[in-house]
Amino acid sequence: MLPVKTFILIIFIVLFPHSIFAEARDSIVLGDSIKHRVSPLEVSLELSTKYVWRGIEYGVGPTTFGKISFQNKGFDAYLEGVYDVKGTHAEVDLGVGYTYKWLYIGLADYYYPSPVGEKDKYFKLSNRNTGHYIEAYSMLTPTKLPLQLTLSCYVFGADKNKKGHQAFSSYAELTYSHIFKDDNVLSLFLGTSLNKGFYTDYQYSFNIVNVSLKYETKFKFGSFYLPVSASYIINPYREKSYFTLSVFLNSRI
């Protein structure tokens, strides 16, 4: 089996010519303002050594995140596919949202097909036996503070407690970010479960489930740059810790 570094290098060389690496921010703004309007459609690919979301581990190997998104006048929508290269995790996500000043409100659908896609039914939408998880969430970002508060709740779908009732698993996360020179960013996340939901195996209510430190920077290649990030994650409830590395590619359509 190929080492992770070799796998990522092959992906870059074979699939991604230098033209789709993100351009420097100044060149994007200047070029688009002179030649054409910025496209509302964007495609992106993230490669991560490990998939950890809100302190919870998904799959056992490196993971790819392919995404196409639309943004226009505060409205956004996206379609994302998440696949573990070892075939232990698959995910198809849909989302819509709207931003008004410092407030973002969104609705997301998370779906986890079986590894070969034959034992599940995507269009089985009855709340009693669907495989979809529908989440409503909001993000509050004060304009004068380097803070962001995320509040979320699963409102429909497969999020059921041990009695088979809708669990309404709820989560809150506070993020502090500090921007350094060249737009390098260091962020600290503190996430908690708010009730007896899947974050705590439907057994306990308030618990700290995610303490993360993330550093984001860019490797420059001439006039192009490659965004990369490193995250150290601790889940006190599960007594687990993780360290992940990610690279990100994106391009306007």
Residue closest to 106 by CA, chosen among 152, 54, 143: 152
Structure tokens at 9: 């290098």
Q: What's phi and psi for 239, nearest 5 deg?
A: 55, 45
Q: How far apart are CA 137 and CA 108, in angstroms?
A: 8
Q: What percent of the chain has pLDDT over 90?
A: 74
- Residue among 89, 91, 71, 69 nearest 79 (CA): 69
Tell me the residue type at 114: S
251 and 42 Cβ atoms separated by less than 8 Å = yes
> What's the pLDDT at 154?
98
Rounded mean pLDDT, 239-248: 97
Q: Quick one: tokens of 118? A: 């034959």
Q: Which amino acid, one-letter code, is at 42?
A: E
What are the two backbone dihedrals, phi and then psi, of residue 5, each rounded to the nearest 5 degrees?
Answer: -65, -40
Q: What is the pLDDT of residues 139-167, one digit of tens each?
A: 999 988 999 999 999 999 999 999 999 99
Q: What integer pLDDT is reported at residue 39 of this predicted model?
A: 87
Which residues have CB under 8 Å from 36's CB, separation 6+?
Answer: none
Please enumerate in sequence order all residues whose Cβ is within 8 A of that of 224, keeping only pairs 6 or more positions apart, or say none. Answer: 18, 21, 22, 23, 24
Task: Work out the angle at residue 129's Cα, subtended by the Cα atoms of residues 91 and 67, and round it to the nearest 5 degrees.
Answer: 20
Grouping H, G, I as helix, E, B as strand and the rest as coil, residue 181 is helix
What one-character DSSP code corresponds to residue 38? P
Q: What is the DSSP letter of 37?
A: P
Predicted pLDDT at 117: 66
Per-residue pLDDT, averaged over 90-116, amounts to: 94
More confident position, 181 or 215: 215
Residues 171, 199 contacting (CB under 8 angstroms): yes
Query: Residue for token digits 């409100």?
Result: 105
Judged against a pLDDT cut of 80, whether residue 37 lies above it is answered with: no
Confidence category of residue 20, pLDDT binned at 50, 70, 90:
very low
Asked whether the predicted pLDDT for residue 18 surpasses 80, the reply is no
- Average confidence (pLDDT) over 239-251: 96
* Token pair for 114: 């079986």
What are the distances in angstroms from CA 234 to CA 32, 48, 57, 107, 241? 41, 17, 11, 27, 4
Ramachandran bin of 164, using left for φ above 0, alpha for ψ from -120 to 50, beta for the remaining angles: left
Q: What is the pLDDT of residue 118?
A: 72
pLDDT digit string, tens, across residues 47-87: 999 999 999 999 999 999 999 999 999 999 999 999 999 99
Query: Is the predicted pLDDT of residue 17 greater than 70, yes or no?
Result: no
The per-residue pLDDT for 222 is 82
How many C-alpha atoms does 155 have within 13 Å on its Cβ side? 10
Q: Rounded to the nearest 5°, which phi and psi values hold at 11?
A: -55, -45
